[in-house]
Amino acid sequence: MEAVSNMGTEKQIEILVNEQPVRMDDRIATGAQIKAAAIAQGVVIQQTFALQEELPNGTSKTIGDNDEVRLHPHLKFTAIAADDNS
């Protein structure tokens, strides 16, 4: 009797990017991978946008394209145009 692996879609982690759900397959992703997944899943951002992790204490942390983030459910990110001065 063979063991059946459930390593596929059931292990996905749902995060939020600009208040929209994004499903991630891996537990660790770079800023560039998070933005690419968000774009592929319909979030209206660009790969060149600046990415920030929204922290529970109300502050945010900038995530560079090569920075690795340990993902867990309910993480929130904001992606904005890098030249947005608003």
Domain map of the chain by residue range? 13-80
Q: What pLDDT sits at residue 82?
A: 80
- Which token pair is 82? 């890098």
**CB within 8 Å of 31: residues ≥ 6 apart:** 51, 63, 64, 65, 66, 67, 69
Report the CATH architecture of 13-80: Roll (3.10)
Contacts of residue 73, defined as CB under 8 A and 6 or more positions apart, other chains included, come to 13, 14, 15
Query: What is the per-residue pLDDT across 18-60, written as a single tens digit (0 to 9) for each?
Result: 999 999 999 999 999 999 999 999 999 999 999 999 999 999 9
The pLDDT of residue 83 is: 74
Q: What is the pLDDT of residues 58-67, one digit of tens each?
A: 999 999 999 9
Convert the pLDDT of each residue in 1-14 to its tens digit. 444 444 444 689 99
Confidence at residue 84, expressed as pLDDT on a 0 to 100 scale? 56
